Amino acid sequence: MRPDLYAQRLAVLLEAHHRREQPAMTSEELAHQVSLVTRSVVPAVIVDEALAGTALPPDEVTQAIVQVLDSEDVLFTDSPEGADLEHRLRVCAIVRDRYRDGGTNIIARGTSLSPRQTRELLAFLEDEPTSPAL
């Protein structure tokens, strides 16, 4: 893998792990917005089947990072899969920084967004830094 791409992915991983102050939008408002962008139904609360139907713990971004680190270094490969993980981490960081009420679980776990939908959502979020609830 090229050193610049490795450094870029490492920076994304570190940014996703860095916490910011609590934003203003709820996960329900975010779910509505994500549903509009991806043209698919996104539930406001994601249930983790491994937790026997309980809601996800509050730190979904850290969980997403752990999943990335458990993915056999795929993030640090020059591959479509590595790019998809980078995009998902970027989305997690943006959502975490912009919305309150644990909305990050919509992206971090439990959804079935395709790589294309993830790219579209990332482009939308990066293009609309202060987008209000729709």
Tens-place pLDDT, residues 1-51: 677 777 777 777 777 766 666 556 666 777 777 777 777 766 665 444 443
* 79 to 3, 70, 115, 123: CA distances (angstroms): 14, 17, 12, 19
Q: Which two tokens stand for residue 29?
A: 């408002």
pLDDT at 114 over 50: yes
What is this structure's pTM? 0.49
Coarse DSSP helix, strand, coil percentages of the chain, rounded to the nearest 5 percent:
60, 5, 40
| Collapsed DSSP state (helix, strand, coil) of residue 6 | helix
